[in-house]
């Protein structure tokens, strides 16, 4: 039991550390957007976070570059400002993109736990077309 407590405790600390880093970044980004709109700062009760393990073909987690060419499972996190509707996407703890007006297709991909990699521009445009398109 002591071994399991130590093992689970370490897993929980690592997960919390990643979520903490993501939320810190998300709060900064969302507050900057709110400041531009002259809105009040973000409050914890206005934030929702969705998170799931997503499988990637390599250790790049959807980012370009030279990575170990073997499958990797990392958390995908979606952070939502419920007042403004802004959504921030993170793969493996790294920021992917901001979505101003998420489409039904985007939310279907979230429900399916299958978002495109950071560099899959065409797939992202299908899920979250740039403003004005």
What is the pLDDT confidence band of residue 7, given thresholds at 50, 70 and 90?
A: confident
What is the pLDDT confidence band of residue 3, given thresholds at 50, 70 and 90?
A: low
The parent domain of residue 87 ranges over: 2-127
Q: How far apart are CA 93 and CA 20, in angstroms?
A: 10
Q: What's the pLDDT at 68?
A: 73
Has residue 132 got a pLDDT over 70? no
Q: What's the pLDDT at 133?
A: 52
34-43, 52-61, 63-72: segment of lowest average pLDDT:
63-72
Residue 77 lies in a domain: yes
Look up residue 111 and give its two tokens. 């429900």
Q: How far apart are CA 16 and CA 13, in angstroms?
A: 5
Q: Residue 114: name the closest of 70, 87, 76, 57 by CA.
A: 76
Residue 107 lies in a domain: yes
Average pLDDT over residues 23-41: 94
Residue 132 lies in a domain: no
pTM: 0.87
Look up residue 55 and give its two tokens. 């499988």
Residue 71 lies in a domain: yes
Tally the domains of the chain.
1
Q: What's the pLDDT at 52?
A: 94
Q: What's the pLDDT at 91?
A: 92
Which residue carries 């499958």 as its tokens? 71
Has residue 2 got a pLDDT over 80? no
**Do residues 85 and 100 touch, judged by C-beta distance below 8 A?**
yes
Residue 100 lies in a domain: yes
Average pLDDT over residues 23-43: 94
């Amino acid at each position: 039991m002591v071994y399991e407590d130590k093992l689970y405790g370490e897993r929980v600390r690592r997960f919390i550390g990643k979520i903490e880093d993501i939320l810190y970044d998300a709060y900064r980004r969302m507050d900057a957007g709110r400041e531009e709109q002259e809105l009040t700062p973000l409050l914890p009760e206005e934030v929702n976070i969705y998170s799931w393990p997503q499988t990637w073909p390599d250790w790049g987690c959807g980012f370009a570059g030279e990575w170990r060419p073997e499958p990797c499972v990392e958390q995908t996190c979606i952070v939502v400002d419920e007042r403004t509707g802004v959504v921030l996407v993170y793969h493996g703890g790294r920021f992917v993109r901001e979505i101003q007006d998420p489409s039904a297709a985007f939310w279907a991909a979230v429900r399916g736990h299958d978002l495109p990699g950071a560099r899959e521009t065409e797939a992202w445009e299908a899920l979250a077309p740039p403003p004005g398109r």
